[in-house]
A and B are shown apart, each in its own frame.
Chain A
Amino acid sequence: MNARALTYASSWLGSVGSLTLFAARAARDLFRPPFEFGEILRHLYELGARSAPLIAVSGLAVGVVLSMHTRATLERFGAESMIPAGLAMALVRETGPLTAGLLLAGRIGAGIGAELGAMRVTEQIDALEASGVDSFRYLVVTRVAACLLAFPLLTTILNFAGIFGGYLAETLSSGMSLQLYMQRAFAMIDFPTFVPSTLKTMVFGFIIATVSSWLGFNTTQGTEGVGRASTQAVVLSSILLIIVNVLLVQAIFVMFPSVR
């Protein structure tokens, strides 16, 4: 029993160490030439632009639902006029970044895990190396860079879609005009509210891209392994993202006390 526990613990620690080294190498190589601009652009389109419809539609739905809940609560206190501001604050500070992160962990994490896993088991990664190409730079660093750039933009899209969804719900309930809604929604959104919470999604992007790439790179056991890498990429990215989010929120509170 003890031997099995030791083996398990040693294997777990080995995986943590391997993932940490993988992430550290990705972070280092992001700033070291040569840069694969063509591949980064391709991934920006594949991982970023092609995620925009999912993000926009989800944001719209989240906005409608948040608005409905907020109205139900604030109506009791006669504070309906606070609905746009409350909804915008909730979205921009936390709901938007976290929802975008989790949605993208599903779409991008699964995609990267499956794609790199399939490339590993079909020896395409070896073929890249055999062609004299640094497969880590070509496959991992480019995806990490694309995620770092795309996540804040996608989060902003989700935030705006959510605020617009809130407007749709609000105008159907109370007939509030778009101009008045937007005026109230953005009244309390300032720099320390918007920028840190949006930029923290770059960390989410880094986590999702590195964890999924690591799992894909270490895929074994054929197609079954590819499926496992894809699933684990979503699960592990999501868990890490939620945990790291707690630390980031705390860090933002320390660096921007006015956000509290």
Chain B
Amino acid sequence: MSETPHPPAVAFEHVTTVLSGRTVLDDVSFAIQPGEAVCVLGKSGTGKSVTLKTIMGLMTPDAGRVFVEGEEVTDAPRHALSEIRQRLGFLFQNAALFDSISVGENVAFPLRRHTDCDDREIDEIVCEKLVQVGLDADYAKMPSELSGGMKKRVGLARAMVLDPPILLVDEPSAGLDPITADEIDDLLCGLRDERGTTLVVVTHNIPSARKIARRMMVLDGGRIVAEGTAAELDQSDLTLVQEFMKSKGSG
């Protein structure tokens, strides 16, 4: 008896998204396997963040279908979408911390909503996650008291607090100094290697992408124009891909 193959962690089937009359994603199809780390590259406004938000079900495509672990996200009813989202972590570009509650409560938020853990257990998990991002001393601080890099690390702690099998990361190094950016890259690599977390990372930062990704996709004009390992993309004939791969941009 043959083993049932795992469905892809994330799959796009002919996805098209039009925003304000502009086609942002144009018949895009791809599949990301469980445990894979994929970086989505591309110039600003080419639909990278839209791709992540579409996976999360925050945006609905005008055509095509999106799957997470074999379950369709597009047109999923509210409760089903909520369950799917619990298997996804999302680090927003600007962290998107809830500014009316403390750092600790931000990280605890998904636990309070989706688990039966008591306050002591929640505290333990939150502290463990904050230790991982190096912010255990900042538990009681409000988001407004944190720097951009610290906010991003809290955002990462919140995104991984339920230990989701898939993590979506939007511009992890944008606006950060190289040292902090490198620390966040290390955290993502740790999740990839130690937990087998599937990573979908949107970035402009090629050194960071080389470090995190096993596979890269380059978006241009709403389409995937190149796809492969860093070594494969280094050999690409496309000017855009060559320029990207030679860049040392820090996001």
Binding site for B on A (CB under 8 A): 118, 122-124, 126-134
Which of B26-34, B92-100, B129-137, B189-197 has 4 or more CB atoms under 8 Å from chain A?
B92-100
Chain A's closest residue to B98 (CB) is A124
In the complex, chain B residues whose CB is within 8 Å of the CB of A126: 53, 58, 92, 96
Chain A's closest residue to B82 (CB) is A132
A129 to B90, CA, bound (A): 10
- Having A126-B96, A132-B82, one finds 20 other A-B pairs with CB under 8 Å, namely A122-B94, A122-B96, A122-B99, A123-B94, A123-B96, A124-B99, A126-B53, A127-B90, A127-B97, A128-B98, A129-B56, A130-B58, A130-B88, A130-B90, A131-B109, A131-B158, A132-B83, A132-B85, A132-B110, A134-B82
Task: Kindly state the interface size class of chain B when it binds its partner.
Answer: 20 to 34
Q: How many CB-defined contacts (below 8 Å) exist between A and B? A: 48
A123 to B158, CA, bound (A): 15
Interface residue B246 (Cβ < 8 Å from any Cβ of A): no
Chain B's closest residue to A134 (CB) is B78
Chain A's closest residue to B59 (CB) is A126
Residues B51-102 near A (CB distance < 8 A): 53, 56-58, 78, 82-83, 85-86, 88, 90, 92-94, 96-99
In the complex, chain A residues whose CB is within 8 Å of the CB of B92: 123, 126-127, 130
In the complex, chain B residues whose CB is within 8 Å of the CB of A134: 78, 82
Chain B's closest residue to A130 (CB) is B90
Binding site for A on B (CB under 8 A): 53, 56-58, 78, 82-83, 85-86, 88, 90, 92-94, 96-99, 109-110, 113-114, 158
Q: Residue B85 contacts which of A118, A122, A123, A129 (CB distance < 8 angstroms)?
A: A129
B113 and A131 contact, CB distance less than 8 A = yes
B98 and A127 contact, CB distance less than 8 A = yes
Q: A122-B94, A123-B92 are in contact. Are A132 and B86 (CB under 8 A)?
A: yes
In the complex, chain A residues whose CB is within 8 Å of the CB of B113: 131-133
Shortest CB–CB separation between residue A60 and chain B, in angstroms? Answer: 32
A69 to B96, CA, bound (A): 53
Chain A's closest residue to B89 (CB) is A130
Chain B's closest residue to A127 (CB) is B96
Shortest CB–CB separation between residue B172 and chain A, in angstroms? Answer: 15
In the complex, chain A residues whose CB is within 8 Å of the CB of B86: 132
A128 to B96, CA, bound (A): 9
A228 to B19, CA, bound (A): 23
The 10 A-B residue pairs with the shortest CB-CB distance, nearest first, are: A127-B96, A123-B96, A130-B90, A132-B85, A132-B82, A132-B86, A131-B110, A123-B92, A126-B58, A124-B96
B78 and A130 contact, CB distance less than 8 A = no
Chain B's closest residue to A126 (CB) is B58
A127 to B101, CA, bound (A): 14
Shortest CB–CB separation between residue A33 and chain B, in angstroms? Answer: 12
A118 to B83, CA, bound (A): 27
12 pairs across A/B with beta carbons < 8 Å?
A118-B99, A122-B99, A124-B98, A127-B96, A127-B98, A129-B57, A129-B58, A129-B85, A130-B58, A131-B109, A132-B86, A134-B82
